[in-house]
Structure 1
Amino acid sequence: MAKNLLIVESPAKAKTIEKILGKDFQVKSCFGHIRDLEKDDMGIDLTNNYLPRYTVPDDKLKVVKELRQLAKSSQEVWLASDEDREGESISWHLAEVLGLDPRTTKRIVFHEITKPAIQKAVANPRTINMNLVNAQQARRVLDRLVGFELSPVLWRKVGMQRSLSAGRVQSVAVKLIVEREREINTFTTEHSYKIEAILTANDIAGRTVNFRAEGPSKLAQLNDAANFLNSCKGANYQVADVQVKPAKRSPAPPFTTSTLQQEASRKLGYSVSRTMQIAQKLYESGYITYMRTDSVNLSETARQDIRNEITQAFGDKYFQPRFYKNKNESAQEAHEAIRPTYMANHSIDDADGKRLYELIWKRTIASQMSEAEFEKTIAKINISTNKEQLTATGEVLKFDGFLKVYLEGKDDDDDNEEGGMLPPLTPGQLVAFKQMTATEKFTRPNPRYTEASLVKKMEELGIGRPSTYAPTISTILKRNYVEKRDKDGQQRQVNKLTLTPKNEVEKEIYTENFGAEKAKLFPTDLGLVVTDFLDTYFKRIMDYNFTAKMEHEFDEISEGKLQWSNVIDSFYKPFHTNIEHTLETAERAKGERELGADAATGKRVVARMGRYGPMVQIGEQTDEEK
């Protein structure tokens, strides 16, 4: 029997660490949380400072029994769960269940599963950080209070018996999706006409090349566009001014949890949950650092490894040391960004993890590389028959810098197009006319959220933390408040005018597809009804600023600045009063949506929420026949 028992969260991690530590250590997994609040009732003593009542679930009884036996026969027990609030809580629960003293039991933490990191952790043990435990406990207790008291209100006032639930973070996440859907549905499309000319000039080799130049502004009506093109008939086009400015582009910071989720969605098409599952596996296999973090820091050792990789592969001019500032001042879920543990490993053999690993490697390397340098040219071109000017914009890459390795992805609402290449242009130079078009353009509403863009918005608003983004999205999908699906596009006619080299204005009407979307989040009828009900009667819970304030208070508990039960008390008392008032006074939510009229009776047909779920009703509830 080994002298030391070291307990981690997952079996995969246990195997890797046991190989590193050798025969003096037996490494076992607790398979995550070993205790939770009682399920048969609230599990919280409201008369005793919100003291939680914990129990070991049935599926963990065997694990706990084995760990107790091993702990008794070991000289020393070490707790090595993850270094975030959930991990610290798991260590504390283990200490409680195994009869260990939290004040003296050795607690070790590491951000990567490598031999140096594990050995350093064992050489520098600490004890359980009760501030982190209390922060996790506060979140768990608060969320249980909200769910336990608010869900029955939904059962009585919305319907569907016990299948409805509400949560402090999940409900505001659904609200974001509902608000975006209504913004899209009420959006009024406006149209205008974009002027674009194709002109020609000689390049440095003397070849005639085309380049584009845009009109001064978008024109509101077809007549305005036609008048502009007619005014350009027979015109000469002369370069009035050329400005050449240097421009630089900096690399993005290394990945945090949310930026990894966003970029894996954009570049790999991964859902948030799939990204986290693969990242967890990569971490437990020793390939990357801890994957739940809101820090963009890199360790000094990592920086040196990155420098060696860059200078050896690309040369000294491509290396630029960079220190990034965390956007979240309380970034403390872990102390480093997500990065490879060994930068010399450009890729891995793991089939599932290969693409995500390479994305992480490239982003990490690029974060310490030189800026990309451009030469941006803006040419103003006079029209001899018109007082307006055309503008040609071009961009020449002078030094690729970090772009040699990595280019950050864009969301589908990013419309900024970089300028193309321009031939050499000088003031006074005449350029030849090829054609000019006026094309009808349509404004678009903000797009529906993807999983990744929802995470981005939640992070911007301060809602949730790295450990809660993926579970929140999984919950709202599972509860059928939101669905992820594609949307077919529609067709519309587009007007286009073309001024030809023969000075004739030709008109054409063509059809384009618009509005098609893939893997977007749509609120269900149930999500709409529940959101409206909660937003009417529980404004505080549904307020984004209030939700962010609670997250900030959890942060302050973890720093020892607030007492956790006081935070719960200040929330619960007004919340419970609100619950009682709503049960007494709120009307039952109908959630009606009119579908039309019944062909046989002429009575209106509505879809609404009934006691047992969505239903279709013909006529009014007071009608004798329905």
Structure 2
Amino acid sequence: MDLVIVESPTKAKTLTKFLGSAYKIEASMGHVRDLPEKGGGLAIDIEHDFEPQYEVLSSKRANVANLKRLAQDAKIIYLATDPDREGEAIAYHVEYLLGKHDFRRVTFHEITKSAIEEALKHPGKVDLQMFNAQQARRVLDRLVGYTLSPVLWRKVRRGLSAGRVQSVAVRLIVDKEREIRAFVPVEYWEIFVDVRRKTLDFRVQLVKIEGKTAKIGNGEVAKKVIADLENAKYSVSDLTREEQHSSPYPPFTTSLLQRAGSNVYGWSAKMTMQIAQSLYEHGYITYHRTDSFNLAGEAVGMARDFIGKTYGMDYLPEKPRVYKTKSASAQEAHEAIRPTDVTRLSADLATGAMTSRHLKLYELIRKRLLQSQMADARFDKTSIVVSADQYLLKADGKRMIFDGYLKLGKPTDDVFLPDVVAGETLSLVKVDPLQKFTNPPNRYSEAGLIKELESRGIGRPSTYAAIISTIQDRGYVEKIEKSFRPTAIGEAVVDFLLVNFGNIFAYEFTAKMEKDLDLIADGKKQWVPTVREFWEPLVQQVKAVEETGERIKVKVESTGQKCPDCPEGEIVVRTGKYGKFLSCSTYPECKYTKPYVEYIEGVVCPVDGGRVKAMKSKKGHKFFGCENYPTCKWAAWRLP
């Protein structure tokens, strides 16, 4: 009997359903061989071309023994791990550990009977170039972590760690926070005028003054403009009407799916990927780690057929839509994320293993695929330009004439304008001035951070969930009201790394490393010279910093309260490994500490009116509860 090795029991179970008893299907349970876990040292032989000292993971020894036993009776061993670098690394290490057998590498991007059978008909070998790209990333990350973390311990604070990509993500959040702090609001005015045509009123906005774009920066100028408009004569100077088209978005890539999960449902990237992983392993969607918009011709045909039969031929564009992938590193052999069967509704999924979140994400993916192959929505757009002496004002109206792909989206609100003709006189109803001030930049939401990372080429979409989770777990950033803010320790780490290792943690350098890894995967660059090019300047910088680098103090937040244990100190807020806590400012001389309680200003418990405080669950997730617990047991993941 032939042996098929996959990563997970769920994937194994789905393959068994399609392949039956002709194959023995077993799960590796993820990575089985890696660099040593905690306490194992660097485990990279720098003097011998950075050779990694891999070992079987302690938690996988029994599993490896079982695979070896099964391999003895197998005629052919198919390595059917995921079609990406991590999957290739698992396949490589499994083959290494099982010894001399007839190994065949098979990949598929959807777990369906036809895709699996096709893959088994055309097996290949482990892609060593792709494995080397994964190995290079693993070695680089190990070198950075094991080399710079001890420096942080000595120069900033014990227990800290640096990550090649994670630290750059923290820098993005720190830079944004400092941009917000430095922001100075600028005053400006918007002026609206309500005008009347016979018995119908409509609103126009000031857009030009004496032929130039209207810019009103203070109240004095606004007063003059308001006075002029209150005494001006109004007439229609121009009227335009055109048909406007709105085209659908492309199908989901990994980053777009993560952003949609965050924007639509408030999910973390980690949660979205966990749900997508489950949908993939059950055979409901295609592989969820992809940066390609490509769709198989068969999938497009099925979608178009479903659209035509369900919604009518008017909802089909003349030709199938093709979306150009923006990412230069995208593998066009991969597909965008789509359902394996577009006719399968979310209600048709196996309810036993599927939660409401699975159904929501599946329906999001299914709708996005269908919309991507539907006709444009069409609108009748009207613009009315009104003259008032030296001023021009404008109103825009929009009316949907065909919903197209928006049939599967949220309904749009029409904005109607009255029928007017050029030269027609209008009467003034009122002038409505609004004083405004420019707003500071928005902090990054999870979706916003993913978008920024991708646009800068930092990391890869498949790594974003881990990056965002790690920087929170390490206490470098915190999420407040869906937005990221750096902690004091996060800012201190970024400052130290930029002062002493600015070239390594530059945005451009990090993006270049990602491109180098792509070149290794494509066979256009060797992994050892790439690592050496990174390592040699790093080790020199570390030596210099150890000798001359200045220690950075982590800023603390004063509470204004005196320390109860000593006369000199006051209570300050510090950030530790497990979050914020209160301590004496004279630490370590005075060792007074107390738990930090974060009360949410302006929010009260919906049950008893008590103050709401932020807390962390056993898994480190933030939630909110009443200060009167256990008398009041109200708790929620979101603020009331």
Say whether the fold is shared (TM-score over 0.5): yes
Distance 1:619 1:67 in 2: 57
Q: 1:175 aligns with which of 171, 174, 178?
A: 171
1:526 equivalent in alignment to 2:492: no
Q: How does 1:321-332 map onto structure 2 within 5 Å? A: 321-332=320-331
Q: Which residue of 2 aligns with 1:210?
A: 201
Residues 198, 212 of structure 1: 8 Å contact kept: yes
Residues 192, 220 of structure 1: 8 Å contact kept: yes
Cα deviation code 1:580-625 (max 9, x no counterpart):
11111111111335749888999999777899998866589999xx
Q: How does 1:259-274 map onto structure 2 within 5 Å? A: 259-274=256-271
Q: Which residue of 1 aligns with 2:378?
A: 373
Distance 1:424 1:118 in 2: 61
Cα deviation code 1:370-402 (max 9, x no counterpart):
22222322211122xx42121111122222221
Distance 2:588 2:262 in 1: 46
1:87 equivalent in alignment to 2:87: yes
1:479 equivalent in alignment to 2:474: yes
User: Which amino acid in structure 1 is aligned with residue 202 of structure 2?
Assistant: F
Q: Which residue of 2 aligns with 1:455?
A: 450
3-state SS of paired residue (1:352): helix
Q: Calculate the TM-score normalised by the size of structure 1.
A: 0.86
1:468 equivalent in alignment to 2:463: yes
Give the percent of matched residue pairs that are identical in Structure 1 and Structure 2. 43
Cα deviation code 1:224-278 (max 9, x no counterpart):
2233222233544211111223322221111000001111211122111111111
Distance 1:541 1:172 in 2: 9
3-state SS of paired residue (1:341): coil
3-state SS of paired residue (1:232): helix
3-state SS of paired residue (2:385): strand
Q: Which residue of 1 aligns with 2:394?
A: 391
Distance 1:598 1:277 in 2: 45
3-state SS of paired residue (2:230): coil
Q: 2:282 aligns with which of 282, 285, 288?
A: 285
Indicate the larger mover: 605-614 or 392-401: 605-614
Distance 2:311 2:574 in 1: 63
Residues 2, 74 of structure 2: 8 Å contact kept: yes
Please report how far the alpha carbon of residue 426 of structure 1 lies from its aligned counterpart in structure 2 after TM superposition: 1.2
Distance 2:582 2:553 in 1: 11
Distance 2:23 2:196 in 1: 75
1:27 equivalent in alignment to 2:25: yes
Q: Which residue of 1 aligns with 2:424?
A: 429
3-state SS of paired residue (2:369): helix
User: Which amino acid in structure 1 is aligned with residue 475 of structure 2?
Assistant: N
Q: Which residue of 2 aligns with 1:573?
A: 536
Aligned alpha-carbon RMSD (Å):
2.6
User: Which amino acid in structure 1 is aligned with residue 275 of structure 2?
Assistant: I
Q: How does 1:389-428 map onto structure 2 within 5 Å? A: 389-406=392-409, 420-428=415-423
Q: Calculate the TM-score normalised by the size of structure 2.
A: 0.84
Distance 1:134 1:14 in 2: 26
User: Which amino acid in structure 2 is aligned with residue 252 of structure 1?
Assistant: Y
Distance 1:315 1:9 in 2: 42
CA distance 1:209–1:94, change in 2 (3 Å): farther
Q: Which residue of 1 aligns with 2:59?
A: 59
Distance 2:474 2:168 in 1: 14
Please report how far the alpha carbon of residue 544 of structure 1 lies from its aligned counterpart in structure 2 after TM superposition: 0.6
CA distance 1:603–1:282, change in 2 (3 Å): closer
Residues 244, 379 of structure 2: 8 Å contact kept: yes
Q: 2:5 aligns with which of 4, 7, 11?
A: 7
User: Which amino acid in structure 2 is aligned with residue 81 of structure 1?
Assistant: T
Q: 1:255 aligns with which of 242, 252, 266?
A: 252
CA distance 1:599–1:390, change in 2 (3 Å): same
Residues 605, 619 of structure 1: 8 Å contact kept: no
Indicate the larger mover: 399-408 or 554-563: 399-408
3-state SS of paired residue (2:21): coil
Q: 1:440 aligns with which of 430, 435, 438?
A: 435
Cα deviation code 1:20-39 (max 9, x no counterpart):
01111011111110011023
- Choose between structure 1 and 2 for higher RCO, CA contacts under 8 A separated by at least 6 residues: 1
User: Which amino acid in structure 1 is aligned with residue 377 of structure 2?
Assistant: A
| Structure 1 portions without partners, runs of 5+ | 203-207, 409-416, 487-518
CA distance 1:16–1:602, change in 2 (3 Å): closer
Cα deviation code 1:307-366 (max 9, x no counterpart):
101111222232221111111111029610000000111324432311111111111111
CA distance 1:261–1:210, change in 2 (3 Å): farther
User: Which amino acid in structure 2 is aligned with residue 146 of structure 1?
Assistant: V
3-state SS of paired residue (1:111): coil
Residues 292, 334 of structure 1: 8 Å contact kept: no
CA distance 1:433–1:100, change in 2 (3 Å): farther
Distance 2:400 2:357 in 1: 35
CA distance 1:619–1:156, change in 2 (3 Å): closer
Cα deviation code 1:47-81 (max 9, x no counterpart):
11111111112111111111110111222211100
CA distance 1:343–1:379, change in 2 (3 Å): same
Q: Which residue of 2 aligns with 1:205?
A: none
Distance 1:45 1:172 in 2: 27
1:296 equivalent in alignment to 2:293: yes
User: Which amino acid in structure 1 is aligned with residue 190 of structure 2?
Assistant: K
Distance 2:16 2:323 in 1: 35
CA distance 1:107–1:567, change in 2 (3 Å): same
Cα deviation code 1:428-461 (max 9, x no counterpart):
1223433221011121122111111101100000
Aligned residues: 570
| Structure 2 portions without partners, runs of 5+ | 208-213, 591-640
Q: Which residue of 2 aligns with 1:112?
A: 110
Distance 2:119 2:408 in 1: 33
Please report how far the alpha carbon of residue 536 of structure 1 lies from its aligned counterpart in structure 2 after TM superposition: 0.6
Distance 2:167 2:577 in 1: 21
Residues 475, 575 of structure 2: 8 Å contact kept: no
User: Which amino acid in structure 2 is aligned with residue 150 of structure 1?
Assistant: L
Please report how far the alpha carbon of residue 45 of structure 1 lies from its aligned counterpart in structure 2 after TM superposition: 0.7
Q: Which residue of 1 aligns with 2:511?
A: 548
Distance 2:148 2:90 in 1: 27
Distance 2:251 2:290 in 1: 11
Indicate the larger mover: 222-231 or 358-367: 222-231
Distance 1:140 1:609 in 2: 29
Residues 195, 218 of structure 1: 8 Å contact kept: no
CA distance 1:276–1:620, change in 2 (3 Å): closer
Residues 393, 419 of structure 1: 8 Å contact kept: no
Distance 1:201 1:541 in 2: 65
Indicate the larger mover: 420-429 or 297-306: 420-429
Distance 1:598 1:4 in 2: 71
CA distance 1:137–1:599, change in 2 (3 Å): closer
User: Which amino acid in structure 2 is aligned with residue 107 of structure 1?
Assistant: R
User: Which amino acid in structure 2 is aligned with residue 188 of structure 1?
Assistant: V
CA distance 1:434–1:461, change in 2 (3 Å): same
User: Which amino acid in structure 1 is aligned with residue 92 of structure 2?
Assistant: W
3-state SS of paired residue (1:215): strand
3-state SS of paired residue (1:42): coil
